[in-house]
A and B are shown apart, each in its own frame.
Chain A
Amino acid sequence: MRSSKPAIRTATYAAAILVFGVAALRIVRVRADSKSDAPQMRVAEVQPRAMEDTTQKAVLRDYAAAWKAIGSAMVENSTMPLADNFTGFAREQLTQRIKDQRNAGLTTRIVDRGHRIDAIFYSRDGSAVELRDIAAIETQVLEGGTVVHSDTSRIEYLAILTSAADRWQVRLLQSVPDNQSTATNQH
């Protein structure tokens, strides 16, 4: 009886260490995930005017919302989620894509794995912004419930946003092959 007590104590300590270890690992992982999910924007290259803090926050908030809307619209084959965050050609283009893929019996699932965003243009009158976004995206195309295509890529996008009454709306979102965008926008 006496000899089993140290063994039980050792087992208890080992179990406690294991539980704490697993918990710590989970916390680290959750923090790492949330860090990669939160989009961040750099403004060091922006021209011809500097971007105010409040504008940066608003642009980032509305651009992130636009990507969520794309994800919902593509997987549901519905144009409704596009209403708030898109305008002009970007909205027309996404609407047509959704109509076409609905007619073709396809849906697209976009798994957004993070964005690295640079503001590269902010118009003098404050009405338009251009962003360069390197997005880590998993794209799955489904026919019925079957995945017919899947790829994970880092895709570069150029986005033009314009200010509306209470938010920034995406007016153009165009994917760009590697090395086609210009790194700096200097005059």
Chain B
Amino acid sequence: MRKLVLFGLATLVAWFAADSARGADLRIPSSGVAAGRPLTIGTDGQGDAVISLLGPGQVIQRKVKLGSEVQIKAEDLHSAGRWIAILRASGESHSRVFWVEPAQPENLSFLARPSRVPVAQHNAISGTVFLFDRFQNLVLRPTPVTFDLSVKGTGAKQSVGSRNGIAWIEASSGPKEGAAQFVASVGNFSVRRVVQQVAAEPCSGSLRMHITRREKDTVVVQTDPIRDCSGNLVPDGSIVSFIETDQKGKSTVDARIKKGFAQAELPASDNAAISVASGVTLGNELHLGGGR
């Protein structure tokens, strides 16, 4: 008789547990769930359960009384994307899929290329912004991004809408050399990069040389200040080649520009031609012996 009562009780408990579990369910908002915002999940049924929320970068697990609400704090929910909520009670499980949106953009990853560029080059500079929220989720909502590229107060500003979390522009370098400030901004957030604009190739008209000194065995030639076609001094260190050709052969001196000038010491000759070049730019030609 005692065994029969025990068996009856066990059956009753099992039936009750199974019935409670059958009644267990989850209620999750179908929209408006975002990273950094609190989330309330409703449960149905009776008894104890465990709820697990599996997100792209985290798992939140809580014990819960069925029939009550589960509160997820704003600071606990930070992965945007597809989540799975699983409620486990009395050996049974119920699950729902829900989505968490990214928060507002607060973090810009800004790639500015190249770091050094010649002046007056068409579309030579590229700027790419990846838009993230404060939890490093990519912000997919189209967002206007402002790019500002300027040297010594002059430059251009351009606004571009982001797509799939990315905004990019291509910009031409300005006519003035110097450190260009390249700033990308969204709302109150901005990131600054520096693109060094340097003089371009020497302008053919500006590459001119003259003889500065004649000695018994040598002749010293020096260029005028070497500028690009925008009037900027070609940077120090650029190579200028002086070539002297006479009946004995050819002598070449590769000199570096210093403070805008380049100079070379060549062998003296009764009858020689001296030419000057830098990169693809040819300068003037001098004649020794037979006069200029």
Contact = CB atoms under 8 A, between A and B. Distances in A.
Given A124-B113, A128-B111, A97 B58 contact: yes
Given A48-B170, A104-B52, A185 B59 contact: no
A181 B101 CA distance: 12
B159 to A, nearest CB: 12
Contacts of B88: 143, 148
Interface residues of B, number: 40
Contacts of B137: 174
A182 B164 contact: yes
Contacts, number: 113
A94 interface: yes
B86 A97 contact: no
Contacts of A130: 164-166
B191 to A, nearest CB: 16
Given A106-B54, A106-B59, A124 B170 contact: yes
A37 to B, nearest CB: 22
Given A89-B136, A125-B111, A158-B140, A132 B59 contact: no
Contacts of B128: 123-124, 128
Nearest to B127: A124
Contacts of A108: 54
Interface in A153-183: 153, 155, 158, 160, 172-177, 180-182
A52 interface: no
Contacts of B168: 48, 121, 123-124, 187
A130 B167 CA distance: 12
A180 B140 contact: yes
Contacts of A72: none
Given A123-B128, A128-B128, A160-B130, A149 B84 contact: yes
A141 B128 CA distance: 38
Interface of A: 48, 89, 92-94, 96-97, 100-101, 103-104, 106, 108, 120-121, 123-125, 127-128, 130, 132, 139, 141, 143, 148-149, 151, 153, 155, 158, 160, 172-177, 180-182, 184-185, 187
Interface of B: 52, 54-61, 79-82, 84, 86, 88, 93, 95, 97, 99, 101, 111, 113-114, 126, 128, 130, 136-138, 140, 142, 160, 163-166, 168-170
12 contacts: A48-B168, A48-B170, A89-B136, A96-B57, A96-B58, A100-B58, A100-B60, A123-B111, A123-B113, A123-B126, A174-B137, A177-B101
